[in-house]
């Protein structure tokens, strides 16, 4: 684990960044120091610890915490070519980024019941074409980062009700720390796999009577970092934008919003706060200092006591930017 730390430099030619490598002990020691700014990316659990430590010194923080980012699928009943593109972009957005070990990876999919089987078949075909057909011949896919995370993911599948929901994959190779791309259909909503960020190659598919129910489903959970919505329904798009809260919304693709430096990246609520990328990173690590220069004249006496009706009316009109009223007051045509 690496920690990126440094106070904001006084001059642009100063060394701006130091990298210290270490585990939780190093992180804890660093958080005891006073910094001008703390930027943290990781889990909400550790994010709370970082924020609590920063509060001791009133240090501003930016937290990028991830979360359960859903993909809403509403394009399968359109043309077959668009349905195939949807499947490719879901597979790429789930297993492409380090086999799901990325904060912006798709965490689960929401789709109508009548379209679930079509989606699953498309995903299976795409997975086989991208990565291979079994645990022994997988290619182009990452290992799980360490044994602890590998075991955490395996434990998610050990719940009997969760295991029963597997419709594709599920094989593991403990020696190589590899887990096969796995699709689950309607695992229990109260199971750990549906309450915690998965951060791995397991993809739950949750079925709904109507795709618009996805809005209430998303709102019943913590704010996601990203909502991916595959739809061409402009009215539905507007509802997603106006009725849900997330760090980012991406329509008809996955992951690409992270590559666009002209878009701010960051979470909201449980998925974090603050933003970065491109100029937004510069702004995040900058303090905008307000500076006002004034001369000694003219000097407006109504700003000082003793208070009179004239002064109070002058101040009231000035705050209202009522310049015409001020002129009338100064000419004696306007009284309180």
> Count of residues for the chain?
336
**Half-sphere exposure of residue 330, counting CA atoms within 13 Å on the CB side?**
12
Residue with tokens 């909201």, as numbered in its chain: 268
- Rounded Cα distance between 169 and 152, Å, is 17
Q: Return the bridge partners of 208, or none.
A: 112
CA pair distance 123, 331, nearest whole angstrom:
79
Round to whole Å and give the CA distance between 165 and 203: 11
| DSSP letters spanning 227-296 | EEEE---HHHHHHHHHH---SEEEES-SSGGGG-TTS-B---GGGEE--BSTHHHHHHT----------S
* 298 burial via Cβ count (<10 Å: 0-12, 13-18, 19+): exposed
Which uninterrupted H or E stretch holds 81?
helix 80-95
Q: Is 134 exposed, middle or buried (0-12, 13-18, 19+ CB in 10 A)?
A: exposed
Radius of gyration of the chain from its Cα atoms, rounded to whole angstroms: 27
Q: Output the DSSP codes for 297-335.
A: -S--GGGSSSP-HHHHHHHHHHHTT-HHHHHHHHTT---
Q: Which alpha helices (H) appear in 143-246, and where do they start and end? A: 147-158, 160-163, 214-219, 234-243
Active-site positions?
64
């Amino acid at each position: 684990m690496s920690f990126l730390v440094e106070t904001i430099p006084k001059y642009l030619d100063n060394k701006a960044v130091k990298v210290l490598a270490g585990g939780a002990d190093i992180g804890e020691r660093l958080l005891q120091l006073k910094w001008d700014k703390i930027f943290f990316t990781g889990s909400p659990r550790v994010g709370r610890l970082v924020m609590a430590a920063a509060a001791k010194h009133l240090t501003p923080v930016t937290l990028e915490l991830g979360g359960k980012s859903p993909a809403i699928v509403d394009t399968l009943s359109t043309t077959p070519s668009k349905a195939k593109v949807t499947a490719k972009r879901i597979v790429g957005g789930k297993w492409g980024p380090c086999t799901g070990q990325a904060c912006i990876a798709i965490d689960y999919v929401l789709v109508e019941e009548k379209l679930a089987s079509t989606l699953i078949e498309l995903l299976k075909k795409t997975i086989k074409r991208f990565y291979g057909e079994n645990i022994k011949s997988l290619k182009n896919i990452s290992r799980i980062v360490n044994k602890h995370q590998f075991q955490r993911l395996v434990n998610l599948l050990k719940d009997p009700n969760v295991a029963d929901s597997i419709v594709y994959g599920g094989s593991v190779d403990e020696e190589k720390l590899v887990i096969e791309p796995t699709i689950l259909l309607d695992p229990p909503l109260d199971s750990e796999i549906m309450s915690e960020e998965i951060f791995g190659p397991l993809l739950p598919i949750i079925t709904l009577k109507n795709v618009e129910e996805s809005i209430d489903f998303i709102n019943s959970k913590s704010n996601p970092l990203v909502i991916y919505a595959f739809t061409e329904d402009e009215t539905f798009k507007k509802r997603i934008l106006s009725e849900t809260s997330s760090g980012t919304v991406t329509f008809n693709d996955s992951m690409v919003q992270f590559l666009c430096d002209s878009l701010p990246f960051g979470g909201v609520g449980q998925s974090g706060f603050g933003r970065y990328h491109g100029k937004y990173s510069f702004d995040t690590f900058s303090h905008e200092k307000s500076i006002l220069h004034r001369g000694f004249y003219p000097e407006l006496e109504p700003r000082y006591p003793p208070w009179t009706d004239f002064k109070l009316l002058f101040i009231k009109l000035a705050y209202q930017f009522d310049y015409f009223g001020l002129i009338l007051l100064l000419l004696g045509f306007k009284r309180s």
